[in-house]
Chains A and B, each alone.
Chain A
Amino acid sequence: GQNIDQPTEMTATEGAIVQINCTYQTSGFNGLFWYQQHAGEAPTFLSYNVLDGLEEKGRFSSFLSRSKGYSYLLLKELQMKDSASYLCAVSEDDKIIFGKGTRLHILP
């Protein structure tokens, strides 16, 4: 079976840095995605990691360790518009499985 875990909620302050962790156990692994989802909207793509290491894209970075079944999403210079849910997803064989998402609250 598959299991993807991430914290349910996190709170951070505007301008700060926050790290959202994701651990996974899957029978197959082809890559890991991070998506952002605002309430009532479809998820939008943030990052895709296939190999171990850090992928940086502007204020957002994502890290993957395949041997540990672990990833994190790092958000820098937080802005109020970053208040959203962040979804970790794993490509397993020919399907894509999502975690339950982490709701991030940004305080001014």
Chain B
Amino acid sequence: DGGITQSPKYLFRKEGQNVTLSCEQNLNHDAMYWYRQDPGQGLRLIYYSQIVNDFQKGDIAEGYSVSREKKESFPLTVTSAQKNPTAFYLCASSLGDKPYFGPGTRLTVT
């Protein structure tokens, strides 16, 4: 089955710790995206990548980092510099048209 996966579904961390969220796709898509969603809000773009070994900052990149070493994988690290990391994180991929979303990771930092 082709698709996009994110793991884990729920993640809990203590303040001050870095945490990495996984995103994998086997759709052979070139573009991948990370979004953050807060309760009752829309999706805000954190980082995006159009090709392996290249990525760009979105609107809210501060406190986050990414890598794109493989076409299939686009992990997101939430660093301790991110002031309000608790949120629902969504990864998406596309071939240039509609993005397909993974199931999301709900991160809680206390």
Residues of A with Cβ closer than 8 Å to B?
31, 33, 40-45, 48, 87, 89, 94-101, 103
Q: Is the interface of A mostly helix, strand, loop or mixed?
A: strand
> Which one, B40, B45, B88, B90, contacts A95 given CB within 8 A?
B45
* Residue B41, interface by CB 8 Å: yes
Kindly state the separation between the CA atoms of A48 and B97 in the bound complex, as whole angstroms.
Answer: 8
> Which one, A96, A99, A100, contacts B99 given CB within 8 A?
A96
Residues of chain A with a CB closer than 8 A to B88's CB? 40
Given contacts A96-B45, A98-B42, could you give 5 more A-B pairs where the C-beta distance is less than 8 Å? Answer: A40-B88, A41-B104, A45-B100, A96-B92, A98-B35
Measured CB to CB, the nearest residue on chain B to A102 is B42
Residues of chain A with a CB closer than 8 A to B90's CB? 42-43
Chain B: number of interface residues, binned into ranges: 20 to 34
Q: Is the interface of B mostly helix, strand, loop or mixed?
A: strand
Residues of B with Cβ closer than 8 Å to A?
31, 33, 35, 40-45, 48, 50, 56, 58-59, 88, 90, 92, 94, 97-104
Among B94, B98, B104, residue most surrounded by chain A Cβ atoms (within 10 Å): B98
Measured CB to CB, the nearest residue on chain A to B6 is A42
Residues of chain A with a CB closer than 8 A to B104's CB? 41-42
